[in-house]
Amino acid sequence: MENLLANSPEHRTQPAAVPNGATPVLQLTNIEKVYQTKTIETVALNQVNLTINRGEFVSIMGPSGCGKSTLLSLMGLLDEPSSGTIEVDGRAVTSFSDKELANLRNLKIGFVFQSYHLINDLSVVDNVEVPLLYRKGMSGKERRQRALTALDKVGLSARTAHFPGQLSGGQRQRVAIARALAGGPEIILADEPTGNLDSVMGEEIMELLMDLNRRDGVTVVMVTHDEQQALKTERVIRFFDGSQVS
Amino acid sequence: MLRSYLKIAWKVLMRRKFFTFISLFGVSFTLMILLVVMAMFDHLVGPAAPVKRVDRMLFVNVIRHQMVDGHGWMNMPASIHFVDDYVRKMKTPEKVGITTTSANATAFTKSKLLALDMSYTDGNFWQIMDFDFVGGRAFTPEEVKNAQQVCVLNEATARAYFGSTDVVGRTIEIDLKRYRVAGVVRNVSAAQIYAYADVWVPYTLSPEFYKDNRLGGEFLVLLLAPSAQALPAVREEYQQMLKRVEIPNPKEVKAIFSYADPMLAGFTRALLNHNDQTVDDDNLTSFYLIVGGLALLFMLLPALNLVNLNVTRILERSGEIGVRKAFGAAGSDLVSQFLVENLVLALVGGLLGLGLAAGALALVNEAHPVAYAHFSLSWRVFGWGMVLTLLFGLMSGVYPAWKMSRLNPVAALRGSGEQK
- B161-211 pLDDT, tens digit per residue, is 999 999 999 999 999 899 999 999 999 999 888 999 999 999 999 877 777
CATH number at residue A66: 3.40.50.300
Give per-residue pLDDT as tens, B201-232: 999 998 777 778 889 999 999 999 999 999 99
Q: Which of B311, B364, B297, B77 is nearest to B203 (CA)?
A: B77
Helices (H), ranges, B46-100: 80-85
Contact B1 A133 (CB under 8 A): yes
Q: Is B411 on the interface with A (CB under 8 A)?
A: no
Please state whether beta strands B113-121 and B199-202 pair in parallel, antiparallel, or not at all (unpaired). parallel
The reported pLDDT for the residue numbered A199 is 84
* Residue A140 contacts B where some CB pair is shorter than 8 Å: yes
Please give the average per-residue pLDDT across B121-136, as a whole number. Answer: 94
Query: Is the backbone of residue B87 left (phi > 0), alpha (psi -120 to 50) or beta?
Result: alpha
Q: How far B349 CA lies from chain A's nearest CA (Å)?
A: 22
What is residue B279's predicted lDDT score, i.e. its pLDDT?
64
B73: exposed, middle or buried (C-beta count within 10 Å: 0-12, 13-18, 19+)? exposed
Confidence of residue B277 (pLDDT cuts 50, 70, 90): low
Which member of B3, B328, B333 has the closest CB to residue A105? B328
The interface pTM score, or ipTM, of the predicted complex is 0.88
B7, amino acid identity: K
Interface test with A, best of B323, B324, B333 (most A CBs within 10 A): B323
* Res. B274 pLDDT band, cuts 50 70 90: low
Q: Select the more confidently predicted residue: B285 or A6.
A: B285
Record: contact B410-A126, CB cut-off 8 A = no
Using the predicted structure, report yes or no on whether residue B405 has a pLDDT greater than 60.
Answer: yes
The count of domains in chain A is: 1
Which helix (H) or strand (E) segment holds residue A213: the answer is helix A199-216
B339 touches chain A (CB under 8 A): no
Q: What is the pLDDT of residue B369?
A: 81
Give the domain range for residue A7. Answer: 2-244
pLDDT per residue as tens digits for the range B35-77: 898 888 888 888 777 888 999 999 999 999 988 877 788 889 9
Between chains, do B327 and A73 touch, taking CB under 8 Å as contact?
A: no
- Please check whether residue B320 touches A, CB under 8 A: yes
CA proximity to B327, closest of A117, A200, A65: A117
- Interface check for B416 against chain A (CB to CB < 8 A): the answer is no
For chain A, residues with pLDDT lower than 70 are 1-21
A15: left (phi over 0), alpha (psi -120 to 50) or beta: beta
> Strand order of the sheet with strand A24-36?
A41-53, A24-36, A83-88, A91-92
Contact state of B328 with A179 under an 8 Å Cβ cutoff: no
